[in-house]
Structure 1
Amino acid sequence: MAGEISFFELGVGDFEAARTFYSGLFGWIFEPGPTEGGGYAISTPNVPGGVHGGDPGAGPYLFFRVDDMKAALERVRELGGTVDDFDAGDDDETVARFGRFKLCHDDQGSPFGLHEPPAA
C-alpha cells in the first residue's frame, strides 16, 4: 500500500452544473462516466477524478491507492475501521477503466476511500 491520493470524487446535486463550474474554474476536462446514471470522469493535471449527481452538499471523497484491495480491506477491519457496503461500480467496464473503489471509515468514524488502479 503506497497511500498516496490516487482519485477524488465530487458528490453534487447536479453533475451538469458541476461540470460547467469546475471546467470554468480550473479548466478540467470532463468525459462521460461509465454508468447509466450519468456523471463524468475528470482529467486534471495531477490526480484523476469523477463527479456524480444526487449527492447535494457532500464533501469531496478522497481515495488512497492500494496495490491489493482485499488485503487493504482486511487491514482496515483489523485496525478497527469499517468498510461500507456501497456499490462503487465493480462492473467489468468500470474496473477496466478506473479500477476498484471502496468507501471506508477509520476507527474514529472519519470517512476515506481506497482505490486499486486498473491493471496496466
Structure 2
Amino acid sequence: MAVELGYYTLSVRDLDRAAAFYGALFGWEFTREHERYLHVTNTTVPMGFVSDGPSAQPNLYYHVADIDAALERVRALGGATGQVIESKSGRGCAVTDDQGTEISLWQPAPGFG
C-alpha cells in the first residue's frame, strides 16, 4: 500500500486566537490535546494546531501502519529519526531522509484515521 498524507498541523503563535479565527472562517471545531496542541474534530483529513510560532508551511505527517517498523526502515536507508511523540491522536515522529529533507510520520490511534 502506498503511504499517503495522514495528518497535518499548522504552527501558530496563540492557539486560542487560531481557534477563534479558523473556527469563524471554516467552521472548524476543536478539542485541546494539551497546552501546546489543538485537534480539529470536524475535518475529513485529520489535522490540528501546534503553538510553535507562525510558519509559512504546514507540518505534514505521512500515515504509517507501524511507526516503529517505519523508523527502523528510515535508519536502514541512511536517514535519521527524532523522538516519538505520543498523543491522543496517535504516535508521530520527525525523520530526515538521506539527503537532509525532514518529514514526519504518524501512526494514528484508534478512531483517528
Where does 1:8-27 land on structure 2 (aligned, <5 Å)? 8-27=8-27
Q: Percent identity?
A: 37
- Name the structure where strand makes up a greater proportion of residues: 2
Deviation at 1:58, TM superposition (A): 5.8
Aligned 8 A contact 2:10 2:55 in 1: no
Equivalent of residue 44 in structure 2, options 43, 46, 60:
46
Query: Mind listing any 5+ residue stretches in structure 2 that lack a counterpart?
Result: none
Q: Which residue of 1 aligns with 2:90?
A: 99
Which TM-score applies when normalising by structure 1? 0.78
Q: Say if 1:10 and 1:50, in contact at 8 Å, map to a contact too.
A: yes
Please give the alpha-carbon distance, in whole angstroms, between the structure 1 residues aligned to 2:37 and 2:68: 27
Partner of 1:74: 72
CA distance in 2, matches of 1:119, 1:30: 18
Q: Corresponding residue for 1:31?
A: 31
Distance 1:12 1:81 in 2: 28
Encode CA deviations 1:33-58: one digit per residue, 9 max, x unaligned.
Answer: 1x2x2431112432111112143336
Cα displacement string for residues 69-112 of structure 1 (whole angstroms, at most 9, x for unaligned residues): 11100111122221123x62x2xxx3xx3111111122222221
1:64 deviates by: 0.9
Q: TM-score, normalised by structure 2?
A: 0.82
Q: Is the 8 A contact 1:30 1:42 kept in 2?
A: yes
Greater share of residues in helix:
1
Query: How many pairs align?
Result: 111
Structure 1 gap ranges (5+): none
Which structure 1 residue ranges, 4+ long, deviate > 2 Å from structure 2? 54-59
Is 1:5 matched with 2:5? Answer: yes
State the Cα RMSD in Å.
2.0
